[in-house]
Structure 1
Amino acid sequence: MTTTTLPRLSAATAERTARPITVLQFGGGNFLRAFVDQMIHAANTAGVMNAGVAVVHATPGPDRALELLEEQDGLYHVLLEGVRDGEPVREFTRVDVIQRIVRSHEQFDAYRELYLSPELEVIVSNTTEAGIAWVEGDDVAAQPPASFPAKITALLHDRFVAFGGAASAGLRIVCCELIEDNATTLREYVLRHARAAGYGAEFERWVLEANSFHDTLVDRIVPGYPRDEIADIQAEIGFADDVVVKGEYFGVWAIGGDPVVQQVLPLDRAGQPVQFMTDIRPFRAKKVKILNGLHTAMAAVGLQLGCESVREAFERPDVRAYLDALLEDEVLPSISEPREELRTFAAKIVERFGNPYLHHRLADIALNSVSKWGARNLPVLLSAFKDGREAPRTAFAAAALLTLYVRGPEGFEPHDDAAVVAAIREAFDPADVPAWVRASIAAAGWVTDCDGCRDRLADEVATHAARILEVGVEQALTELPV
């Protein structure tokens, strides 16, 4: 807590606009407040929305951050820092969209009043990756049920009954959990709970026809409360704000599904980085190859060069040249979209790597790198093989990863599947690198589906791995084709 003499932020010391609660938000953590709520605030300010948010604390027990937010009447500041058009940008926003905070387990009647409101239009959630899960035997008649899918089932059934099954009572349910097909999975669990509870075919039909479930992909790094610099930040904003949230300026919110969601969340009309699309899977695949694939390659290479952060690695000319060539010659050709459009999209992503305000640790990116390389980078390599192209830098990334796991810098320890790491290390034989690489590929489960691809993958990775072991990553980088 701050000891400053600055006025404490609240509705008594700063303006807060009263707005109808049209958004019920499950979760009030840093990410949603620096992403969804910040965008809704921008849309309200631009005059394209008039939306208030009610935050639902969906688990039993206290949450100190929400208590502080409640003490500040839902007001808080977002600090976004990053790079825009090659120049550093730093922006403060005092967000005033949160109208109420309700604890579903301790204040069920107030929670129920909110979700039965005729003004409600949207549910937004970020209940973590574990939140959208099937819990056998969860009681949908409880007030409230324990799991998030059961809560949504009960909420929708209660609303269905209260409004006599009217189509107009349906909601737009937008999930921000970091799993693929997040809202689609939630919908499946809702229907499964409904069947288990015997709610009937008419309710199930209403769930599918009157409501819409929207898969999303979200992207913004949000470090959270800037504890180390809070005194300076509070002096700059002129308030004692104990729930300031700091985030990356860059953001992307891809929202899939029924276009009806654009009518209730017209965030793009306020210049927010929101894209609506029927199916987000192609967008996700593109983003994973470009951003996440470059991250995985950068971490394996950068850590062996003694770099600690994305920015530190990116500022090295050899790493920058490697990533530029990897992107232009191997990643982009693997994506079936117009090249110039891809370059524009990729440029905004790559610009993030030089963010002077963000300390994005390579060791964090390197978590579970074996499965990440298989999901992010292997498809690029296989695309090249099938199209008759070369992809030496993608193969080099795999070699850098494997050598990192057996001869990483002092202090580095892989945080990955223990059995896979053990298999890679046990098979390591510097006198027979090809055999080691083949054993490592098998342990990693890097599956190929084309004739000869697995052998070619092993041969190319082994060639680079042998060179890295002999001369080090720095020298081996210089030997890659330009």
Structure 2
Amino acid sequence: MSTNRLSRSTHPHLSLHPERMIQFGEGNFMRAFVDWQLQQMNNQGLFNGSAVLVQPIEQGLGGLMAAQDNLYTVLLNGIMQQQPVNSREIISSVSRVINPYTDYEAYLALAEDDGLEFITSNTTEAGIAYHPGDLADGTPPKSFPAKLTALLHRRFQLGKKGFVIIPCELIDRNGEKLRQIVQQYAAEWNLGEAFLQWLEQENTFCCSLVDRIVPGYPRDKAAELEAELGYLDNLMVTAEPFLFWVIEGPAWLAEKLPLAEAGLNVVVTDDMTPYRERKVHLLNGPHTAMVPLGMMAGLETVEDVMNDETFSRFVQELIAEELIPMLDLPKEELLPYADAVQERFKNPYIRHELTSISLNSISKFKTRLLPVLLKFQQERGKLPELITLSFAGLLLSYRGDLVARQDSPEMLAIFDEAWSNPANFVQAILKDESLWGEDLSLVPGLAEVLASHLQKLESSDSRAALEQFVS
């Protein structure tokens, strides 16, 4: 087995490109989605650019990336147009990683580079949020929008052009919300009317929607892959071949960022709403619904869920009976997409672990399933059984004794406080508008049904509870 670590010395032929994009987030998804697409454009001579990555949190992958000269391998595995895909490609479209917590001046110095035109981000669904403690002189501020505000203000002070900003966080109207929070910080920090005008006139904030399943580092096959590739790569990342990116922005963006020209499945449109609803509710929704119940049943991956008779029926009926009826799109668009989603879930080449999907599950539920639950109750006068059962499983999973919790310390503290009084837990957690954006204790019947489901889940198990509801 080779002990050579992937680097530019092991692969000296790999090209170097000038930095054209600032990317907040160095995790698996962005490296297998945005940076992979930059690579495809570079391969065809259409872009000639790299991304400089910014760690959104202090503990990140910057050290590992530097040790490999910012190179890594993307492994595409799956079925595409009924043909198996099994490819390996070294990605050289990342120039470096900056940790603003250890070198804030290097971060702010990005504002000086006229060659940087684009900003992308994926700081999880919880990343585009206002943090009241962030100050203009923070080194650095805590939140991503505050960091971005500081960078944009430095750019403005230097008298330079703005950016095309395309967030990839999976929240509705992500570009608009990011812009609003940046404007809020600008006003709070008294950065001046001229800066606010520059923000509006010189920068293009785009809403976007991303779609690619990226399970991440293939731990179970790492040694086998090292032997196959001939080098050690601690940052290789697996992904499905399918990719879709919808960017709501001006028509000129398709030429400035020639993704579609490179043959990539990217749409620049003036209205992304139909694409977003279809994807968030029919792909991400089932993911979020299956996680707590599946983990409590001892299942480990999405494929495990789809190969389990009870859980597979759960996913099928959730999509057909609770999700599709609530979407305002033609059935002829929804049904083929739903079928394709379930085929992707069954991809035998991808180990998509439920634990990786479980990160920040509360904010994911709020975005992906809560709107459907509320609409279902309003239109039909009753609660959707499967979503509600999954909601109960989610709440139980945040007690912390059944499955591992992955969320912010602030979120876990809220649940620890609520679970300290089990008799009042459901009411307390539903009333917390900071979690849901509204008081869910006012939703007719929800508290009672959740309490009943929690009792079922605790007295039996998630599989037995599910079997009461799926046909």
Q: Give the alignment's TM-score, normalised by structure 2.
A: 0.76
Report if aligned partners of 2:250, 2:268 keep a CA contact under 8 Å in 1. Answer: no
User: In the alignment, what sits opposite 1:125?
Assistant: 121
User: In the alignment, what sits opposite 2:409?
Assistant: none
Q: Distance in 2 between matches of 1:396 and 1:186?
A: 33
- Equivalent residue runs for 1:173-188 within 5 Å: 173-177=165-169, 179-188=171-180
> CA deviation digits over 1:269-305, x for unaligned, max 9?
3333434344555544433322233234434654576
Q: Distance in 2 between matches of 1:404 and 1:58?
A: 26
Does 2:341 correspond to 1:349?
Answer: yes
> CA deviation digits over 1:355-374, x for unaligned, max 9?
32444455665688788667
Change (3 A) 1:201 1:229: same
> CA deviation digits over 1:63-90, x for unaligned, max 9?
6x42343343332211233443566533
Q: Distance in 2 between matches of 1:297 and 1:114?
A: 40
Q: Distance in 2 between matches of 1:208 and 1:104?
A: 26
SS at match of 1:79: strand
Change (3 A) 1:10 1:387: same
Change (3 A) 1:335 1:109: closer
- C-alpha displacement at 1:110, in angstroms? 5.9
Change (3 A) 1:89 1:420: farther
Does 2:85 correspond to 1:89?
Answer: yes
Q: Distance in 1 between matches of 2:303 and 2:340?
A: 15
Does 2:308 correspond to 1:316?
Answer: yes
Out of 12, 15, 18, the position equivalent to 1:17 is: 15
> CA deviation digits over 1:317-360, x for unaligned, max 9?
34333432332233212111111111232233222321324444
User: In the alignment, what sits opposite 1:431?
Assistant: none
Identity %: 34
Out of 62, 65, 69, the position equivalent to 1:69 is: 65
More off after superposition, 466-475 vs 214-223: 466-475
Does 2:162 correspond to 1:162?
Answer: no
User: In the alignment, what sits opposite 1:454?
Assistant: 444
- Equivalent residue runs for 1:391-402 within 5 Å: 394-399=384-389, 402=392
- C-alpha displacement at 1:37, in angstroms? 0.5
Does 2:136 correspond to 1:139?
Answer: yes
Report if aligned partners of 1:447, 1:454 keep a CA contact under 8 Å in 2. Answer: no
Count the aligned residue pairs. 455
Q: Which runs of 5+ in 2 are unaligned?
A: 406-411
Change (3 A) 1:317 1:240: closer
- C-alpha displacement at 1:476, in angstroms? 7.5
Q: Distance in 2 between matches of 1:205 and 1:184?
A: 16
More off after superposition, 24-33 vs 176-185: 176-185
User: In the alignment, what sits opposite 1:4?
Assistant: 2
Change (3 A) 1:46 1:200: same
- C-alpha displacement at 1:470, in angstroms? 10
Out of 399, 402, 423, the position equivalent to 1:412 is: 402
Q: Distance in 2 between matches of 1:453 and 1:11?
A: 61
How large is the RMSD of aligned CA atoms in angstroms? 4.6
- C-alpha displacement at 1:172, in angstroms? 0.6
Q: Distance in 1 between matches of 2:192 and 2:391?
A: 52
SS at match of 1:54: strand
Largest Rg, 1 or 2: 1
Structure 2 counterpart of 1:395, which letter? E
Change (3 A) 1:368 1:114: closer
- Equivalent residue runs for 1:20-419 within 5 Å: 20-56=18-54, 65-85=61-81, 89-102=85-98, 114-127=110-123, 129-130=126-127, 133-134=130-131, 136=133, 138-140=135-137, 148-163=144-159, 169-177=161-169, 179-280=171-272, 283-299=275-291, 302=294, 307-362=299-354, 376-377=368-369, 379-380=371-372, 383-384=375-376, 394-399=384-389, 402=392, 412=402, 417-418=415-416
Report if aligned partners of 1:69, 1:243 keep a CA contact under 8 Å in 2. Answer: yes
SS at match of 1:268: coil
> CA deviation digits over 1:366-404, x for unaligned, max 9?
68878866764454455456555998xx31442466489
Change (3 A) 1:35 1:406: closer
- C-alpha displacement at 1:171, in angstroms? 0.9
Q: Distance in 1 between matches of 2:457 and 2:109?
A: 63
> CA deviation digits over 1:4-42, x for unaligned, max 9?
354743156332223332112234333322221111111
SS at match of 2:260: helix
SS at match of 2:228: helix
Report if aligned partners of 1:396, 1:464 keep a CA contact under 8 Å in 2. Answer: no
Report if aligned partners of 2:296, 2:403 keep a CA contact under 8 Å in 1. Answer: no
> CA deviation digits over 1:131-184, x for unaligned, max 9?
7544546235x8876764444334333433434x6xxx2211122345554443
Q: Distance in 1 between matches of 2:404 and 2:430?
A: 14
Change (3 A) 1:99 1:370: closer
SS at match of 1:286: helix
Q: Which runs of 5+ in 1 are unaligned?
A: 428-438
- C-alpha displacement at 1:95, in angstroms? 0.9
More off after superposition, 374-383 vs 319-328: 374-383
Change (3 A) 1:363 1:419: farther
Change (3 A) 1:120 1:88: same
Q: Distance in 2 between matches of 1:10 and 1:270?
A: 25
Q: Distance in 2 between matches of 1:448 and 1:78?
A: 41
